[in-house]
Structure 1
Amino acid sequence: MNGLSPDLQTPCLVVDEARMAANITRMNTRIAGLGVGLRPHLKTAKSIDIARRMLPDSGGPATVSTLREAEVFAAAGVRDILYAVGIAPAKLHRVQSLRAAGCDLAVILDSVEQARAVAAASASAPIPALIEIDCDGKRAGLAPDAPQLPEIGRILHESRAELRGVMTHAGGSYDVSGTDAHAAFAERERLAVVTAAERLRLAGLPCPVVSVGSTPTALAARDFAGVTEVRAGVYVFFDLVMAGIGVCAVEDIALSVATTVIGHRSDQGWIMVDAGWMALSRDRGTAGHTVDQGYGLVCDAAGRVIPDLIVTGANQEHGILALRAGAVGPLPDLPVGAVLRILPNHACATAAQFDAFHVIPAKAGATPVIWPRFGGW
């Protein structure tokens, strides 16, 4: 069945290997052409099989968003990992355990309190840390000109901890559309960390790593002067949010949820499927876009978009398919038992609902395979 097992049990998570490989190649080629390193973010995939395809080398470098990810990938041989969420002091013992086992795991922080906790935890063995810089007011981090920046740097540098550098994430790039707008955000991102790095160096402090990253800015940046590495992750699959802001085409989206038609409500203009919000997530990231894709865009079993058919409603285990507002014409004839695929708004949120990827092989006629996926913190 279009590269999937004929006895597929739905709902399940599907990855198109050929599209995924093309997405990975696109990012690798672009970053290499701009002369910086790539530190792929593995949070969306949470899969050893996919990580091996994303990483420049089996040992890394890699980015993660949970210590559970760090532990699983370290056990699989990844040895250079950045844990890119502000460190909670109670987690530092897990950081030290990973480092003692041979993983060069670094943490991030943006406060004097965190720096002191890392310094104290480094009494037995150094913990490297990067200072998070806020480039757009979207989440954590210090402003590049924050007065406490050198103080935090000194706490790390003058203890047994290691001041490894600075990092930022342009989350605001998701709020604009088009290559020019994303390029402008990329420059804002670059300038913020380069400015912070120079302040640390002028204070006599080391700053070897200058790290930036988001999929929109990584694919649009025109200048990485002063930057040492780029982090990005959702590019491996893309999603409807990325398509909606012009980062990719709908045809590039490699991730979908396979679902089965289980009924009809002709009086309401609905087709019922067995994928509700427990499979698709409640993410409505395209609601503010020019084109609202509901809870997901519907495709046939081969991955071809069915014009104007979206998931308009989602209960826990039921999805409601209907024509988008303003569309004309009848509903497509989709009988009970028909298998469909739904493209997600947010790949990270949808993938989090599943423990495996059902792979459509890139090689025609190849046997379908399943790649395990994990979760947890």
Structure 2
Amino acid sequence: MTSAPQTLLQAPTPALVLDETRLTANIRRMEGHLAPFDVTFRPHVKTAKSPDVLRAVFDGTGPITVSTLMEAHRFAEAGFNDILYAVGIVPSKLDAVRALADAGVRMQIILDDADIARAVADAITGNSGITVLIEVDCDGHRSGVAPEADELLVIGRTLAEAGLLGGVLTHAGESYSCEGADAIAAHAEIERAGLVHAAERLRAAGLPCPIVSMGSTPTALFVRALDGITEVRAGVYIFQDLVMAGIGVCRPEEIALSVLATVIGYQKAQGRLVIDAGWMAMSRDRGTAAQRVDQGYGLVCDAGGTIIGDLIVTGANQEHGLVGRRDGTPLDLSAYPIGTRLRVLPNHACATAAQHPAYLLTDTGGAVTARWPRFSGW
């Protein structure tokens, strides 16, 4: 295993930096918000993709949420044995799910289609260690069956007859389009009410529905009531990012993840810096472009993680990033000699982290205290 450099000045760039103080604060914030509610918390590991990061979240072997079977496999190898695979299942993936269950993992899968429910029921018995949640669409964001749909009960009966029905699940993806605590809290109530209504319809039809699982980072952090909910999920809260900051979920200063880069040259006519972190290091995600403040490809900090005014990554090629002021006025290039280290806060933590093989964990003094490997793939 590659050892960690002692300081960020010694680290090859670009590199993925994880601020331990901010990481811990983000974790404690979620714990504190959910503590008054009698619900299970099932963190989503799709951004982290690292058992080391998850062990900073809690002690134990689960429960966790994954978005790929690779994540399920790697976290199971690390000892986590209560796993929800929160992407709609297809029959071709059932063998991989069954193998995990046979290895002693409590596996939950999701679906939203009556034909797929029949295929799963035909392929898996109720004593397999696998349960199924019906995905419910509470806000028209992505996938799932509507809470009022007749298909909800058709799916429920099919799964219940096979001894597989575990409950219902939703993801309030449209909460990412809200702005401010009140708007997010209102959307959290839409999510909660819609999902609970789906659960009540199943129960009224004589079908079991022990699990009622909702979640997204915005709604998990701003929800004001969780009546009828048994479980909450969230993932990016661990790191936060500029999209979350743009809708008021966090402040940019609370973002724990950044990309370390080096100034390698200048665009002198435009008064811009050239750094060695392009879209291969930052990703092409431009999630803040539609927000009130466009952060380009990322907000620029000094090597210690302090934001430098309105400096952003204004453009990105594969291995080159261009740093300038948001309004386009030229920089004083002499303030940033070639070799200067900068850090860039990401628009989308999931997409940026996916570009890197490891996190460099740093303490409040900027020392690198550990190198935490992360994986990728499906």
TM-score, with length taken from structure 2: 0.95
How far did 1:235 drift? 0.4
Q: 1:372 is matched by which residue type in structure 2?
A: P
User: In structure 2, do the counterparts of structure 1 residues 311 and 95 end up closer, same or farther at CA, with 3 Å as the change threshold?
Assistant: same
The whole-number CA distance in structure 2 between the counterparts of 1:288 and 1:330 is 29
Report percent identity of matched pairs.
59
How far did 1:127 drift? 2.6
- State the Cα deviation string for residues 133-165 of structure 1 (Å, max 9, x = none): 001111000110000111101111112x41000
- State the Cα deviation string for residues 93-143 of structure 1 (Å, max 9, x = none): 000000000000100000012111211221483531000000111100011
Q: 1:369 is matched by which residue type in structure 2?
A: A
8 Å Cα contact 1:257/1:279 also seen in 2: yes
- Note the residue ranges of structure 2 that are not aligned, 5 or more in a row: none
The SS at the match of 2:322 is strand
8 Å Cα contact 1:323/1:331 also seen in 2: no
1:150 counterpart = 2:139: no
- Note the residue ranges of structure 1 that are not aligned, 5 or more in a row: none
The whole-number CA distance in structure 1 between the counterparts of 2:250 and 2:363 is 22
User: Corresponding residue for 2:258?
Assistant: 256
The whole-number CA distance in structure 2 between the counterparts of 1:76 and 1:146 is 39
1:42 counterpart = 2:37: no
User: Corresponding residue for 2:350?
Assistant: 348
User: Corresponding residue for 2:18?
Assistant: 15
How far did 1:308 drift? 1.1
TM-score, with length taken from structure 1: 0.96
How far did 1:330 drift? 4.3
8 Å Cα contact 1:10/1:258 also seen in 2: yes
Q: 1:138 is matched by which residue type in structure 2?
A: H
User: Corresponding residue for 1:32?
Assistant: 35
The whole-number CA distance in structure 1 between the counterparts of 2:154 and 2:334 is 63
How far did 1:329 drift? 6.9
8 Å Cα contact 1:239/1:346 also seen in 2: yes
The whole-number CA distance in structure 2 between the counterparts of 1:247 and 1:330 is 33
Paired residue total: 373
User: Corresponding residue for 1:368?
Assistant: 369
The whole-number CA distance in structure 2 between the counterparts of 1:336 and 1:126 is 57
8 Å Cα contact 2:19/2:257 also seen in 1: yes
Q: Map of 1:1-377 to 2, 5 A cutoff? A: 4-55=7-58, 57-123=59-125, 125=128, 127-159=130-162, 161-325=163-327, 330=332, 333-361=335-363, 364=365, 368-377=369-378
8 Å Cα contact 2:83/2:107 also seen in 1: yes
The answer to which of 320-329 and 70-79 deviates more is 320-329
User: In structure 2, do the counterparts of structure 1 residues 332 and 368 end up closer, same or farther at CA, with 3 Å as the change threshold?
Assistant: farther
The answer to which of 304-313 and 120-129 deviates more is 120-129
8 Å Cα contact 2:215/2:234 also seen in 1: yes
The SS at the match of 1:6 is helix
How far did 1:368 drift? 2.5
User: In structure 2, do the counterparts of structure 1 residues 3 and 180 end up closer, same or farther at CA, with 3 Å as the change threshold?
Assistant: farther
User: In structure 2, do the counterparts of structure 1 residues 118 and 279 end up closer, same or farther at CA, with 3 Å as the change threshold?
Assistant: same
The whole-number CA distance in structure 2 between the counterparts of 1:370 and 1:66 is 23
